[in-house]
Structure 1
Amino acid sequence: MPLTPSSRSRHWDGTPHTPARRRALRVDATSPSRLLRIAQRSLCQACGNRIDWHPTPTQQTIPLHPAELPTALVPPPHRWHVASGVAHHADDAAPWCRIAHPALCPAHTLPQELPPALGALRRRLALHTRKLLDTGLFAPQQPDNEQTPAAPCRPARPVVQLLYSRYLAAQPIEDIRCVAQTLRRTRCPHPVLSPHSTPGKWTLLPAAPHHTRRQLALPAANIAVYNLGHLPYSEQMRWRTQRCPAHAAAHSAPDLALAEWDVFDPLLHHAFLVTRLPEASRPYR
């Protein structure tokens, strides 16, 4: 008796075949973080161990240890809690909490207030770092605040003024890349500085606009700042969210990476202070 070929709607044993419906991931409009992936996994540049980057309510990012720890083992100053993808530095009486990776990083000095249980966890991370070094899978890098900046004519990390605040960019102005996700689920390759949009202006501005006598003396009085204050509010928000003009108009596109802005502090970021304008923006003499 010839075998009857099975229908496409059923398996070989006669059970119905129900194809899985493909659902598109969407970002809710009220989400505090527009990241499609809440935690951005990365590796610590100092020890090579895995970390999870989470945004904070102040729009900054903090590296957290990927695993949760019992709250009783973590001192109150080191307790972090994640809610809706945002890390909060508070104690909500939960039995579990998170801890910042710098407190456990083997490349940093061990804080004196950590209990012995966290010291054992730090030793396990140090052992993993040693294995990575011995196998050649990891090479420690210097932190960004200790690297020597590039020539003053093209700042490696320029100071940008927008929305009445100053930020330190992670790369030169021309290399700031859009963080939105494309239809191919990759990061957008277009720069934020579009040739069809109004650029900013390089100007010499005081390093500390509200300097008082009680503050420490700064190494430079005037620094080169890429000023975007003359642009409309929507254009400044496009720079703050680090998006190209096309993805700035498409509000439904999620972010595939965090915006690479650091709140500028002239004392902490003194190594990146530039006292003269770039070559392209200097007036002719």
Structure 2
Amino acid sequence: MSPTAPALRVTATSPSRCRRCGNRIDLYPRTDQRPIALHPAELTAAHVPESCHWHLSGGIAHPHGDGSAWCRIPHAVLCPRRTPTCRMSPCLEAVRRQLAVRTRRLTDTGAFTPALPVGGSAPGADTDVPDRPVVQMLLCRYVAERPVRGLRCVAQTRHHRCTNPVLAPTGPAGTWRLLPTGPKRGQLALPDTPMAVYDLGHLPYGEQLRWRTQHCSAHAAAPSVADLALAGSQPFAPLLHAAHIHTRLPHPPARRHGRG
């Protein structure tokens, strides 16, 4: 196989995974800095439609082949929770089936909970709530893996992953606020447009740490309990996560008690 450039990673212990199917993805920037999720393995170029050929050069993803017998392919083409966007060869169908089996296994063991469909919402949920909100805690900003109300504890119970939400039914919670986008140190600047942020900065340190580790109130009080999954939040980067910047507060706007 041809050499591949290093993918964009959050940390070495926090691999990127598709929010729809739970399978691993590799994130790379395109020439315009927009990220694209690629399937982590190279495929035989002859088995992939030319319109789906991608290759890496200098850590940048390019939407065409590089003349070799191998190519990369967008994960969206193979994701078992998406409708195929191109002609599927027997080889691609086989990979897609393998990913579907893995998704079922991850779901059955409680290691993965599928995200809501794009544009969908849970019954009784507020409208305009970001599907991946920017959350401010411990003096940093993170992009959550799903809406605030949908964040689920990652701790392990006797037989499966905890089903409790991170957002406690009672007690303190965050507040939706419009805050400047503001680049962090070492990041390129974007126009300083206000964006909707679920702010937890006013909560006690222990509560902010509970959100950062993605634990329910019960498991936050039992630190010896092991985790069955990784916390799904990623450090917020304005350019990388531009698609998740919302310039309006959820409706109804910032509730008095900060319910997300």
- The equivalent of 1:156 in structure 2 is 131
- The equivalent of 1:111 in structure 2 is 56
* 1:179 maps onto 2:189 in alignment: no
1:1-285 mapped onto 2 (5 Å cutoff): 56-57=11-12, 60-62=14-16, 102=40, 104=42, 109-111=54-56, 128-132=91-95, 153-183=128-158, 185-208=159-182, 215-218=188-191, 221-282=193-254
Structure 1 residues 108 and 177, CA gap change in structure 2 (3 angstroms): farther
**Aligned-pair identity (%):** 42
Equivalent residues, number: 180
Supply the RMSD in Å over aligned alpha carbons: 4.2
Q: CA deviation at 1:198?
A: 0.7
Checking the alignment, whether the CA contact within 8 Å between 1:203 and 1:277 is kept in structure 2 is: yes
Gaps of 5+ in 1: 1-53, 64-99, 139-143
Q: CA deviation at 1:270?
A: 1.6
Q: In structure 2, what is the Cα distance between the partners aligned to 1:167 and 1:244?
A: 18
With structure 2 as the length reference, what TM-score do the two structures score? Answer: 0.55
Structure 1 residues 239 and 230, CA gap change in structure 2 (3 angstroms): same
Q: For residue 169 of structure 2, give the secondary structure of its aligned residue in structure 1.
A: coil
Q: CA deviation at 1:111?
A: 3.0
Checking the alignment, whether the CA contact within 8 Å between 2:127 and 2:250 is kept in structure 1 is: yes
Checking the alignment, whether the CA contact within 8 Å between 1:148 and 1:271 is kept in structure 2 is: no
**Structure with bigger gyration radius:** 1
Q: CA deviation at 1:131?
A: 3.1
Structure 1 residues 241 and 108, CA gap change in structure 2 (3 angstroms): farther
Gaps of 5+ in 2: 1-8, 18-37, 59-67, 79-88, 102-114
Q: In structure 1, what is the Cα distance between the partners aligned to 2:127 and 2:246?
A: 6
Q: CA deviation at 1:246?
A: 0.5
Q: CA deviation at 1:201?
A: 1.0
Q: In structure 1, what is the Cα distance between the partners aligned to 2:120 and 2:163?
A: 25
With structure 1 as the length reference, what TM-score do the two structures score? Answer: 0.51
